[in-house]
Amino acid sequence: MRPAALLTAASAVGVLVLTGCTASADRDGRADAPVSTPVLQSPPLRAPAPDRPGAEGGDGTLLVSDFGSDTVTFVDPAKGATGSVKVGVAPYGLALGGDGRAWVATAEGVAVVDTQRRALLARIPYRTPGLGPVTGGEYRGGGMGIALAPDGRHAYVGVNVPNGKGVLETIDTTTLKVTDAAPVGRRPFDVDVAPDGREVYATGHDSFDVTVVDTHSRRTRRIEVAPYGTEGGLGSWLKPHYTAVRPADGRLLLPFEGERLVVVDPRTGASTIERMTANTHQHGATVTADGTLLVVGTGPIDPSEDDGPSLTVRSPDGRETVIPLPGPHENVTVSPDGRTAYVTGGFTRDGYWNGITLVDLKSRAISQLPVGSRPLGIAVLKAPGDSEP
């Protein structure tokens, strides 16, 4: 993908349908004015074949957050939705504990769900002021990224403050109370925790950074992550979205535009850039225990130069397989046996659809399920005591 000239107003309408940030911009970060766009039609749904990996139901029930509603939905990969629980308006990220509880960041507070009984246990209000009215949409106030400490004793939620810097709130998972708050970057799309639990990483979408929060001292450090620069400011498309923590060494992996993977050492703040090959705007990312990185491509910034939606599967040695997807998607997780990727169609901007795509990682075959309302966050449920895949 070569550096693009400023997009024309005519092309910007088509661009924004498939892209997931703020106003359009070129690769140097200069922004055009925002453009109103229609919602993309849902792609045709293809049911999972019963003889396909991931379609037998043996990979475990999925849980998705319905960003377009007030629920989380339980999903059998072979059959589709099997039930839902009301959690609060516009649920975004979710995290699962080994005790069977799910922690869901909504506009109203962090919901705690008993996934075995499929019941709401509590909704913990945010301590952060200035969140504005409870509403939906990409820019709403309230929780975005969320993660659990390795020992399960704390949940960490990135709280978006409209028109201001974000806050990382710490929740005691026993008392169900907010015990601490630390300033982080603007619109904390994602929150991750170091393998040893000593640091939390909040990815600030609108501030081009990752904030490192020491879980003991509560001190914070800002690491700028801007491989294209920050010239476009709030109007730039070229910002960080989601971060994956590499199991082997704890480094942070941040994909950009299907072109560049920024690898950050959170201890020193130093970063390197590795080449990527998908040539598309990228959002959701996850990494498996063996170091395989999966990244969701939402579609082109400039359709005349960039490629469409995709799923990148990147091996630890840097080799990539790019699997085309039918329409924008947002987040991804992987089945416990490593055979199937589950990709949500929710998407943070216009262009979302109400379902998930199942990707057979060996054959590259895909199938789709209608699920929930704008499903965004996703995870595979584990029984209490189960180890991580």
- Low-confidence winner among 19-28, 129-138, 268-277 (lowest mean pLDDT): 19-28
Tens-place pLDDT, residues 156-201? 999 999 999 999 999 999 999 999 999 999 999 999 999 999 999 9
Q: What is the mean pLDDT of residues 227-245?
A: 96
> Does residue 389 fall inside a structural domain?
no
> Does residue 257 fall inside a structural domain?
yes
User: Which residues is 332 bridged to in the sheet?
Assistant: 343
Please report, for residues 103, 248, 285, 311, the alpha-carbon distance to residue 314 in angstroms, rounded to integers and kept in the order given: 29, 15, 11, 10
The CB-based long-range contact list for 166-173 (8 Å cut-off, 24+ gap) reads: 166/202, 166/204, 167/128, 168/200, 168/202, 168/211, 168/213, 169/126, 169/127, 169/128, 170/215, 171/103, 171/110, 171/124, 173/97, 173/101, 173/103, 173/148
From CA 270, how far away is CA 223, in angstroms rounded? 8
Comparison of pLDDT for 389 and 271, the residue scoring more: 271
CATH number at residue 122: 2.130.10.10
> Does residue 387 fall inside a structural domain?
no
Q: What is the mean pLDDT of residues 256-271?
A: 98
Tens-place pLDDT, residues 9-23? 223 333 333 334 644
From CA 71, how far away is CA 87, in angstroms rounded? 5
> Does residue 1 fall inside a structural domain?
no
User: Residue 337's pLDDT is what?
Assistant: 93
From CA 213, how far away is CA 223, in angstroms rounded? 11
Task: Inform me whether the pLDDT recorded for 300 exceeds 80.
Answer: yes
Task: Inform me whether the pLDDT recorded for 212 exceeds 90.
Answer: yes
> In which domain, by residue range, is 149 found?
10-39+48-380
Task: Inform me whether the pLDDT recorded for 3 exceeds 80.
Answer: no
Residue 349: which pLDDT band, with cuts at 50, 70 and 90?
Answer: confident
> Does residue 97 fall inside a structural domain?
yes
Residue 350: which pLDDT band, with cuts at 50, 70 and 90?
Answer: confident
DSSP 8-class letter at 126 = P
How are strands ordered across the β-sheet holding 62-66?
80-86, 71-76, 62-66, 375-380
Tens-place pLDDT, residues 66-109? 999 999 999 999 999 999 999 999 999 999 999 999 999 999 99
Residue 1: which pLDDT band, with cuts at 50, 70 and 90?
Answer: very low
What are phi and psi for residue 234, nearest 5 degrees?
Answer: -65, -25
pTM of the full predicted structure?
Answer: 0.88
User: Residue 243's pLDDT is what?
Assistant: 98
Task: Inform me whether the pLDDT recorded for 50 exceeds 60.
Answer: no
Percentage of the chain beyond pLDDT 90 is 82
User: Residue 254's pLDDT is what?
Assistant: 98
Percentage of the chain beyond pLDDT 70 is 83
> Does residue 2 fall inside a structural domain?
no
Task: Inform me whether the pLDDT recorded for 54 exceeds 60.
Answer: no
Comparison of pLDDT for 36 and 177, the residue scoring more: 177
Residue 389: which pLDDT band, with cuts at 50, 70 and 90?
Answer: very low
User: Residue 364's pLDDT is what?
Assistant: 97
> Does residue 258 fall inside a structural domain?
yes
User: Residue 8's pLDDT is what?
Assistant: 27
Comparison of pLDDT for 19 and 351, the residue scoring more: 351
Residue that has been written with the tokens 């950009």 in this structure = 256
> Does residue 337 fall inside a structural domain?
yes
User: Residue 127's pLDDT is what?
Assistant: 98
Instruction: Tell me which residue of 44, 41, 40 sits closest to 16, measured CA to CA.
Output: 40
* Mean of all residue pLDDT scores within the chain: 87
From CA 68, how far away is CA 91, in angstroms rounded? 8
Instruction: Tell me which residue of 226, 295, 223 sits closest to 255, measured CA to CA.
Output: 295
How many domains, the chain?
A: 1
Q: How do beta strands 71-76 and 62-66 pair? A: antiparallel
Apex 264 CA angle, 255 and 348, nearest 5 = 35
CA dihedral defined by 137, 377, 270, 162, rounded to 10 degrees?
A: 20
User: Residue 59's pLDDT is what?
Assistant: 53
User: Could you please report the per-residue DSSP string of 303-326?
Assistant: TTTS---EEEEE-TTS-EEEEE-S
User: Residue 373's pLDDT is what?
Assistant: 97
Chain mean position to CA 334: 14
User: Which residues is 204 bridged to in the sheet?
Assistant: 188, 209
Count helices and strands (H / E) in the chain: 1, 28
Task: Inform me whether the pLDDT recorded for 29 exceeds 90.
Answer: no
